């Protein structure tokens, strides 16, 4: 039974703890042969409640992570969610051990309890985004890059400079600082981009602004409002798809949000004849995860 179930059980490994729990989990993983032979997706998320003291991660935790990751031969996707102010010890340990990884999804957020937004000033958050982008550009075999942010031209310009040959790019986040129409010209510099993931249509500045409160769907007339909003959302997604596919002739997949995927049917001269849609889950379709 173990031999039959292990490939599914250990395909995705997630570690979600504080410093001490994370170190214990990695120590336990070091003893599992299945982890080292079967793991394709590894996610580590550290929730650190240090009462404002900004406690440092144990050095042995940084060393264990730098030892475990290169020992995963089938690893194709990595997600690291660490407190922003504690990324430096990990970076140094990775640098000292010359750790290189084939594919990475970089994420950085300051975690306190279960809040998702970094409680730091905007200038620091922007600097951190640029640091992550530059670091990702040094991974020469990188195929997919993803960073959650309030997207603006300067971020996308930095990505184009750091990784112009990226094959899969995702730009999730809240409402974009610059709409998709302003960002589109910057995609011209991505010579090998095949898959693009965007935020929801309501975040892209294409004229779709659904109600912010769910109460509008309650009571008499609520169903009609819901249907109307859903139809507006579908039309907005179609506008986005037309804009993007017309600009990016080599693009194969476009995701608007995490569940709506569009593909363009083209003629031999690359003219669009049809755009098809289906419902899927974007994280199951990241290059290098389920295609190998």
Q: Would the pLDDT of 252 be above 90? A: yes
Per the CB < 8 A criterion, the answer to whether 15 and 45 are in contact is yes
Q: What six digits make up the tokens of 154? A: 């300067």
The CA R_g of the chain, rounded to the nearest whole Å, is 21
Identify which has the larger pLDDT, 15 or 110: 15
pLDDT, tens only, 177-189:
999 999 999 999 8
From residue 113, give the alpha-carbon distance in Å to each of 14, 49, 156, 173: 18, 6, 30, 20
CA nearest to 195, candidates 164, 166, 173: 166
pLDDT, tens only, 36-69:
888 888 888 887 765 555 677 888 888 888 888 8
In our burial notation (b when 16+ CB lie closer than 10 A, e otherwise), range 195-219 reads bbbbbbbbbbbbebebeeeeeeeee
pLDDT, tens only, 117-140:
333 334 445 777 787 788 788 777
Contacts of 157 (CB under 8 A, 6+ apart): 186
Task: Give me the chain's average pLDDT, please.
Answer: 81
Q: What is the pTM of this model?
A: 0.65
pLDDT, tens only, 209-219:
998 888 888 88
Q: How sure is the predictor about 202, in pLDDT bands with cuts at 50, 70 and 90? A: very high
Which range, of 65-74, 91-100, 191-200, 281-290, averages the lowest pLDDT? 281-290
Q: What is the mean pLDDT of residues 15-36?
A: 88
Residue whose token pair is 């184009």: 160
Q: What six digits make up the tokens of 66? A: 């730098």
pLDDT of residue 108: 41
What CA–CA distance (Å, rounded) separates 254 from 195? 6
The secondary structure of 191-233 as a DSSP string is TT--EEEE--GGGS-SS----S-GGGGSSTTHHHHHHHHHHHH
What CA–CA distance (Å, rounded) separates 165 from 271? 23
Candidate ranges 33-37, 46-50, 261-265; pick with highest mean pLDDT: 261-265
Angle among Cα 79, 205, 231 to the nearest 5 degrees reads 95
Per the CB < 8 A criterion, the answer to whether 241 and 275 are in contact is yes
């Amino acid at each position: 039974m173990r031999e039959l179930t292990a490939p599914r059980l250990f395909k995705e490994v997630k570690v979600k703890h504080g410093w001490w729990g994370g170190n214990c989990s990695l120590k336990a993983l070091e003893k599992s042969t299945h982890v080292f032979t079967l793991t394709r997706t590894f996610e580590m998320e550290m929730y650190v409640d240090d009462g404002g003291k900004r406690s440092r991660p144990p050095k042995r935790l940084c060393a264990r992570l730098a030892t475990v990751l290169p020992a995963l031969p089938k690893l194709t996707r990595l997600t690291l969610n660490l407190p922003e102010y504690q990324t430096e010890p990990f970076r140094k340990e990775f640098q000292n051990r010359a750790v290189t990884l084939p594919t990475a999804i970089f994420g950085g957020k300051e975690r306190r309890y279960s809040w998702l937004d970094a409680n730091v000033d905007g200038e620091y958050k922007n600097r951190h985004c640029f640091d992550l982008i530059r670091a990702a550009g040094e991974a020469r075999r990188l195929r997919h890059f993803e960073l959650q942010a309030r997207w603006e031209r300067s971020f996308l310009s930095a990505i184009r400079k750091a990784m112009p040959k990226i094959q899969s790019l995702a730009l999730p986040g809240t409402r974009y600082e610059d709409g998709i129409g302003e960002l589109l010209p910057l995609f011209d510099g991505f010579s090998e981009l095949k898959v693009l993931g965007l935020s929801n249509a309501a975040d892209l500045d294409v004229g779709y602004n659904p109600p912010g409160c769910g109460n509008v769907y309650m009571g008499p007339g609520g169903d009609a409002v819901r249907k109307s909003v859903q139809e507006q959302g579908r039309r907005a997604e179609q506008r986005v798809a037309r804009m993007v596919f017309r600009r990016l002739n080599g693009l194969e997949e476009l995701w608007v949000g995490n569940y709506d995927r569009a593909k363009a049917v083209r003629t031999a001269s690359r003219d669009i004849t049809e755009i098809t849609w289906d419902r899927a889950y974007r994280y199951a379709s990241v290059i290098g995860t389920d295609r190998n």
